[in-house]
Amino acid sequence: MPCVAEFPQLERLAQREKELGFRFLGLEVKGLLAKMRDVVKEKKTTFPILLDDRRLAREVLQIPGTPTTFVVDRQGRIRARLIGAAEDIDGIIAEVLRRI
Amino acid sequence: MDRSVRQLVIALAVFALLAGGCARREGTSALFILEELETASAVKDPSTRVERLSIFIDNHPEHPYRFIAYNRMLETLGAEMKDEAGMAARLAEALAKETEFLARGELLLGNFIYLMEKDKSAAAAFADSLFLTERSPRLFLIMGYYLMDPKADQDLPVKCFLRSADLSTGRYEKAQAIAMAGAALEERGKRDEAKRYLAMAAGNPEADMIMGKILWEEGKRTEAIDAYVACAARMPGARATMKLDSLYALVNPGANDLDETIMARRIGDEGPMPEGVFVDLDGKSYDFSKLKGTKIVLYALSPT
Go through chain A and tell me how many residues it has. Answer: 100
With cut-offs at 50, 70 and 90, classify the pLDDT of residue B302: very high
User: In chain A, helix, strand, coil percent, each to 5?
Assistant: 45, 20, 35
| pLDDT for the residue B153 | 65
Which domains are present in chain A?
2-99 (3.40.30.10)
Contact residues, chain A, for B269 at CB < 8 Å:
77-79
Contacts of B122 (CB under 8 A, 6+ apart): B115
Whether A77 has a pLDDT exceeding 80, the answer reads yes
pLDDT at B11: 47
Percentage, residues of chain B above pLDDT 90:
75
For the segment B182-190, the average pLDDT, to the nearest whole number, is 93
- Out of B19-23, B59-63, B82-86, pick the least confident: B19-23
Question: Cα-flanking dihedrals φ and ψ of residue B281, to 5°?
Answer: -65, -20
- The pLDDT of B45-72, averaged and rounded, is 93
Distance from CA of A28 to the nearest CA of B (A): 5
Quick one: pLDDT at residue B12? 43
Interface size A-B, in CB pairs within 8 Å, comes to: 215
The listed range with the strongest mean pLDDT (A53-62, A73-82, B272-281) is A73-82
Can you tell me the distance from the alpha carbon of B283 to that of A4, in angstroms, rounded to the nearest whole number?
A: 22
For residue A71, what pLDDT is reported? Answer: 97
Q: Where are the alpha helices (DSSP H) in chain B?
A: 3-41, 46-59, 65-75, 84-97, 101-118, 120-128, 137-146, 156-167, 171-187, 191-200, 205-217, 221-234, 238-241, 244-251, 258-266
Question: What is the side-by-side strand order in the sheet with A49-51?
Answer: A49-51, A22-28, B295-301, A68-72, A78-83
pLDDT mean over B177-182: 97
Half-sphere exposure for A57 (CA within 13 Å, toward CB) = 26
B9, pLDDT greater than 60:
no
Mean pLDDT of chain B: 89
- pTM of this prediction? 0.87
Whether residue B24 is predicted with pLDDT greater than 70 in this model: the reply is no
Chain B partners within 8 Å of A39 (Cβ): 303
The yes-or-no verdict on residue A98 having pLDDT over 60 is: yes
Q: What per-residue confidence (pLDDT) applies to B19? A: 38
φ and ψ of A86, to 5 deg: -150, 145
The mean-pLDDT minimum among B114-118, B148-152, B242-246 falls in B148-152
Interfacial A residues in 12-41 facing B (CB < 8 Å):
13, 20-40
Given a cut of 90, is residue B223 above it in pLDDT? yes
Distance separating alpha carbons of residues B170 and B44, to the nearest angstrom:
40
| pLDDT of res. B141 | 97
Partner-chain contact A25 B298, CB within 8 Å: yes
Q: Write down the pLDDT at residue B20.
A: 38
pLDDT per position as a tens digit, A29-68: 988 999 999 999 999 999 999 999 888 888 888 998 899 9
Largest CA distance in chain B: 81
User: Which chain A residue has its CA at the smallest distance from B271's CA?
Assistant: A77
> What pLDDT score does B304 carry?
84
The chain B residue lying nearest A32, using CA atoms, is B303
- How high is the mean pLDDT of chain A? 92
Confirm if A27 and B301 have CB atoms less than 8 A apart: yes
* β pairing state of B295-301 and A49-51: unpaired
Residue B8 pLDDT level (bands cut at 50, 70, 90): very low
Judge: A25–B42 Cβ closer than 8 Å, yes or no: no
How far apart (Å, rounded) are the C-alpha atoms in residues B179 and B201? 5
CB–CB contact B34 A70 (8 Å): no
In degrees and rounded to multiples of 5, residue A78 shows phi and psi of -75, 115
Q: Check: CB of residue B262 under 8 Å from CB of residue B239.
A: yes
Residues of chain A neighbouring B33 (CB-CB closer than 8 A): 53
By C-alpha distance, the chain B residue nearest A42 is: B303
